[in-house]
């Protein structure tokens, strides 16, 4: 049913797709309350700036039945912000039986930031959401996984050239040593005020060229991970983690039924690039690392030649500057171009039992040594050179919170994360 620029659908994938095909910029696509199974993909293929929303907050549940590709693809629009709000998404799939596709793919390679809020996502052993490119905003959302191992959000832009990596830092809200900051909040992807539950491996995957701000989230037995250039084309560019609470449970059962404590090996696994970790509350993980720093390319066979000298290509604590003519890597990784600079990461002003542990921030040696070059992590990651602990990043200031684009939404919203079912 259409009234003005408002389309009220019956909740089926066919009817929602029909509304998207007919919609003009600024249209509201409303889904009537109820539970639905979608067995075909849905997308705003014309890059229309639409608002897709539940009739009321949490009143719509969409189960994924489609296995041959992404269930919902939202393309960023040059004509306004695409919005998704108020919907529960569920899936029993585990990645291997759907060709490693996603419940939601956000194409953020161009256009204005896509806005996702007050939704929840439940999956098997797979990420629920993937961002291709940087620039969206996600808030008041909840994530859980039946696997109690892996879920949440992945961020990846596998560009054909090094151009996306070889740009100034966009850390914080104002300029830093090698960067411009993100003064309008459109250059990084912001995940804020969300709830992530029970994933021992990762609930966040910072991958190729990603620039992610992870702030004021509740991480309940849920870890954050990343990829470097050893297993990805370019590896993560930079990240900011602040204002979050990381909770480890010692008894009871996780969302998927696994007994606590989960086998958490870290809260953050950092495998490249630079960033900040500050003002978080961190429970200790006994005998394990809190912030784990890696340079896998010195010991692991992968996308680039095994690195045999400092600095390794796109390693943890490295960045880019237009004023530098230095190459990336030893030996050189030619596709990375030039502009390599030391750009250390900073960990400071965190609280919680973890911060008094000797494993609070610790480099980690990859094993086995597949490269057989005998390289040691201590050569590549040195405190007060490649990373700083209890030292604030010079000039860094956080971007405005809440994100200003949150005021541009039309869909139903609540006072906090929509709890997973």
Residue 415: per-residue pLDDT? 81
Average of per-residue pLDDT across 23-39 = 98
Quick: pLDDT tens for 166-183: 999 999 999 999 999 999
Integer CA distances (angstroms), 355 to 12, 169, 288, 290, 360, in order: 49, 27, 13, 8, 6
- Nearest-CA neighbor of 237 among 134, 150, 308, 338? 134
Whether residue 411 has pLDDT greater than 70: yes
Integer CA distances (angstroms), 158 to 126, 165, 208, 235, 394, in order: 19, 10, 6, 9, 30
In three-state secondary structure terms, 300 is coil
Kindly indicate the confidence band of residue 1, based on its pLDDT and cuts at 50, 70 and 90: low
Separate counts of helices (H) and strands (E) for the chain = 2, 32
Whether residue 256 has pLDDT greater than 70: yes
CA distance 378 to 38: 51
Quick: pLDDT tens for 43-91: 999 999 999 999 999 999 999 999 999 999 999 999 999 999 999 999 9
CB neighbour list of residue 131: distance below 8 Å, 6 or more residues apart: 106, 108, 153, 154, 155, 156, 189, 210
CB neighbour list of residue 166: distance below 8 Å, 6 or more residues apart: 320, 336, 337, 339
How is residue 20 written in tokens? 């998207």
CA distance 1 to 141: 28
Quick: pLDDT tens for 88-143: 999 999 988 998 999 999 999 999 999 999 999 999 999 999 999 999 999 999 99
Whether residue 421 has pLDDT greater than 70: no
How is residue 307 written in tokens? 């690195």
Residue with tokens 């890696």: 294
For all residues of the chain together, what is the average pLDDT? 97
Whether residue 2 has pLDDT greater than 80: no
Quick: pLDDT tens for 287-342: 999 999 999 999 999 999 999 999 999 999 999 999 999 999 999 999 999 999 99
- Nearest-CA neighbor of 363 among 305, 307, 289? 289
CA-atom Rg of the chain in angstroms: 21
153, 129 Cβ separation under 8 angstroms: yes
> First-to-last CA distance in the chain?
29
Quick: pLDDT tens for 193-238: 999 999 999 999 999 999 999 999 999 999 999 999 999 999 999 9
- CA quadruple 24, 26, 31, 36: dihedral positive or negative? positive
Q: Is 0.95 topped by the overall pTM?
A: yes
Residue spans per domain, the chain: 9-161+168-408
How is residue 157 written in tokens? 């832009």
Q: Where are the alpha helices (DSSP H) in 113-196?
A: none
Residue 317: per-residue pLDDT? 98
- Nearest-CA neighbor of 383 among 331, 348, 338, 333? 348
Residue 416: per-residue pLDDT? 80
Peptide bond into 231 cis (omega under 30): no
Q: For residue 14, what is the enclosing H or E element?
A: helix 13-22
């Amino acid at each position: 049913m259409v009234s003005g620029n408002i389309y009220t659908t019956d909740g089926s994938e066919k009817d929602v797709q029909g509304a998207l095909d007919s919609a003009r910029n600024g249209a509201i696509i409303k889904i009537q309350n109820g539970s639905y199974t979608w067995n075909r993909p849905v997308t705003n293929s014309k890059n229309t700036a639409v608002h897709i929303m539940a009739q009321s907050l949490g009143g719509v549940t969409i189960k994924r039945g489609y296995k041959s590709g992404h269930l919902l693809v939202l393309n960023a629009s040059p004509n306004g912000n695409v919005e998704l709000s108020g919907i529960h998404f569920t899936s029993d799939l585990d990645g291997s039986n759907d060709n490693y596709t996603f419940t939601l793919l956000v194409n953020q390679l161009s256009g204005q930031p896509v806005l996702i809020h007050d939704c929840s996502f439940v999956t098997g052993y797979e990420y629920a959401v993937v961002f291709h490119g940087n620039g969206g905003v996600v808030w008041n959302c909840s994530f859980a996984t039946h696997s109690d191992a892996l879920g949440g959000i992945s961020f990846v832009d596998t560009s054909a050239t090094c151009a996306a990596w070889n740009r100034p830092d966009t850390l914080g809200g104002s300029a830093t040593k090698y960067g411009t900051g993100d003064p309008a909040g459109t250059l990084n992807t912001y995940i804020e005020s969300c709830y992530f539950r029970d994933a021992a491996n990762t609930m966040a995957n910072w991958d190729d060229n990603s620039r992610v701000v992870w702030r004021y989230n509740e991480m309940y037995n849920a870890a954050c991970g990343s990829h470097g250039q050893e297993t990805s084309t370019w590896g993560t560019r930079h990240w900011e983690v602040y204002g979050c609470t990381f909770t480890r449970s010692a008894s009871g059962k996780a969302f998927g039924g696994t007994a606590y404590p989960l086998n958490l090996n870290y809260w953050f696994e950092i495998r490249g690039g630079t960033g900040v970790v500050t003002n978080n509350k961190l429970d200790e993980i006994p005998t394990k690392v809190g912030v784990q720093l890696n340079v896998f390319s010195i010991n692991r066979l992968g996308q680039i030649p095994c690195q045999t000298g400092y600095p390794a290509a796109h390693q943890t604590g490295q960045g880019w500057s237009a004023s530098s003519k230095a190459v990336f890597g030893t030996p050189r990784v030619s596709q990375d171009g030039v502009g390599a600079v030391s750009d250390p990461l900073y960990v400071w002003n965190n609280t919680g039992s973890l911060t008094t542990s000797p494993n609070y921030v610790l480099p980690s040696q990859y094993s086995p040594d597949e490269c057989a070059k005998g390289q040691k992590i201590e050569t590549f990651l040195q405190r007060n050179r490649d990373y700083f602990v209890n030292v604030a990043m010079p000039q860094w200031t956080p971007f405005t919170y809440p994100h200003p684009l949150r005021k541009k939404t039309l869909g139903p919203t609540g006072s906090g994360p929509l709890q997973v079912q």
